[in-house]
Amino acid sequence: MFNLFKKRGLFFLGLSNTISQLGDRLTHMVIVTLIGVMFPGRISAFSQFAVTFSLPIVILSPFAGVFIDHWNKQMIMFRCHIIQSILIFLTPSVVALTNSSLPIWILVILFFSLDMFNNASKNAVIPDVVEYEELVPANSFIVMLARIATFIGMVGGGYLVHWVGWRLGFYIDASTHLIAGILVLYMGAKVLFEPVEKFEFFFVTELKKSFRRFLEDLRELGILLIEDRAVIFVMLSVFVLPFVAAIAYTVLIYLIQQEFGLGTAGVGWFGGIIGAGMLIGAVLMGIFGRKINRGIIIISSIAILALFFLVGPFFLTAVFLYMIAFIAGVVFSLVGIAQDTILQEDVLKSIRGRIFATKEFLINLTFVFAAILIGVISIRFAPFTIIRAIGIFLIVITAIAVIIYRTIPYHIRIKL
């Protein structure tokens, strides 16, 4: 996997994504701190933030893919980073002038809307910078670098916000996205990332076409979910990860920050440990990913998460939550890399953007649904009860996954 450092396109793509992830974590730490100050004792406040940064992606996903497939992906990533940098840089001044938190929520909506285009373009362009047989280690390479940034951004960001304040934190964040955008330009000549087919379009017309095509993609996916056991199995894992992520972003962060009184620094360590787990998972997948059946990886990962959530309420301490964070991080990398690699191997270059945009839609729709659900039930149920219920739910999902996996024809199962 370390030979991939010699691949110029992948190296600068990974470096740009790493700096971008560092900035994203700083953004999260600043906003989580503000939520704790403005809405103490409310899990639902974290749910509202989770919905705010996920809903734009759900709305844009039907339209983003077709534009990504017909635009230069290098330029998409460059422009997204530059615009994000400008938005973040202006936000503190606007907040000071208006004396309102509204600019923060506007920033969240615009920032993560741009992230929709950036992330889908990043995943779609990886097969253009490496050989086919290098996809698994290439995805692991990208995730590995990103998780290093996650750890530094969350742990360091927690202390940074405490030391310098949220205003200066925003300015530092803006600089990271500016640097990330510049690094994208070093991936190679612009011509290397031109789409298979360009088009000139009228905006409204193309939006209608994109939406119709997206509905058609969902219809075809629905047919596959009825007819193809392997697709059902893979899609099950797509829904599990954002569901667990929503729990971590609402209930677990609330417990760390407020119930255990560890504040922003504690939340930073929580996120950093998730990032460390994802780093380890990426390294393991890069080394063993081509030797172990991905179906077994997915089933085992869900089962491990189910076990930790089920026994969690009996041993719930800050240390145990950090253990869950680490295990969850490892699982996220293992399953996420397996998903992306399967898509990159099986999907034509001309439609990769739409496929990854559709995946982003499903992931964020699940995240939004779970965040809303947790926000509603947190009004009536204690956090420990919610965690135990999640464990039971994941056990059921594991059992369903095993049943579906065993019904997949053997010649297909061994290729998963």
Write down the pLDDT at residue 78: 92
pLDDT at residue number 86? 92
Average pLDDT score over residue span 56-79? 78
- At residue 41 the predicted structure's pLDDT band, cuts being 50, 70 and 90, is low
pLDDT of 352 reads 61
The band of 224, judged by pLDDT with boundaries at 50, 70 and 90, is low
Please give the residue that has the higher pLDDT: either 302 or 198.
302
Cα–Cα distance for residue pair 251/386, rounded to 1 Å: 8
Give the pLDDT band of residue 183 (cuts 50, 70, 90).
very high
pLDDT of 222 reads 65
The tens digit of pLDDT for each residue in 241-275 reads 788 777 776 777 777 777 777 776 777 788 778 87
A 10 A CB-CB count for 27 gives: 25
For residue 234, which of 367, 396, 365, 404 has the smallest C-alpha distance?
404
**Contact of 88 with 111, CB cutoff 8 Å:** yes
Please give the model's pTM, rounded to 2 decimal places: 0.66
Lowest-confidence pick of 132-141, 171-180, 207-216, 392-401: 207-216
pLDDT band, very low/low/confident/very high, at 144 (cuts 50, 70, 90): confident
For residue 371, give the nearest of 247, 207, 287, 253 by alpha carbon: 247
| Rounded CA separation 278/56 (Å) | 25
Highest mean pLDDT pick, 44-48, 182-186, 296-300 = 182-186
- Give mean pLDDT, residues 3-31: 81
Between 71-75, 211-215, 292-296, the lowest mean confidence (pLDDT) is in 211-215
Confidence of residue 121 (pLDDT cuts 50, 70, 90): confident
Range 313-326 average pLDDT: 78
| E strands in 222-357 | none
Mean pLDDT value of segment 202-229: 65
Answer yes or no: are the C-beta atoms of 268 and 155 closer than 8 Å.
Answer: yes
Residue 97: the pLDDT is 83
Read off the pLDDT of each residue in 135-142 and give the average, rounded to a whole number: 76
pLDDT greater than 90 at residue 82? yes
Angstrom CA distances, 283 to 138, 277, 323, 331, stand at 11, 10, 19, 12
Tell me, what's the pLDDT at 207? 63
Of 396, 202, 180, 406, nearest to 302 by C-alpha is 396
Residue 307's pLDDT is 86
263-288 and 8-38 helices cross at what angle (nearest 10)? 150
Residue predicted with more confidence, 21 or 182: 182
Report residue 83's pLDDT band, with 50, 70 and 90 as the boundaries: very high
- pLDDT classification of 358: cutoffs 50, 70, 90: low
Q: How far apart are CA 44 and CA 311, in angstroms?
A: 24
Read off the pLDDT of each residue in 391-399 and give the average, rounded to a whole number. Answer: 88
What pLDDT shows up at residue 178?
A: 93
Quick one: average pLDDT of 217-232?
Answer: 64
Determine how many CB atoms are found less than 10 A away from the CB of residue 98: 10
HSE, CB side, 13 Å, CA atoms: give it for residue 36. Answer: 24
Q: Tell me, what's the pLDDT at 85?
A: 92
pLDDT on residue 237: 76
pLDDT of the residue at 106: 82
pLDDT band at residue 322, thresholds of 50, 70 and 90? confident
Q: Please state, rounded to an integer, the average pLDDT across all residues of the chain.
A: 77
Residues 6+ apart with CB under 8 A from 6: none
Residue 19, pLDDT > 80, answer: yes
**Domains delineated in the chain:** 7-188+219-413 (1.20.1250.20)
The single-letter DSSP state of residue 100 is S
- What is the pLDDT, as a whole number, of residue 254? 75
Q: What is the pLDDT of residue 346?
A: 58
Please say if the pLDDT value at position 312 is more than 80. Answer: no
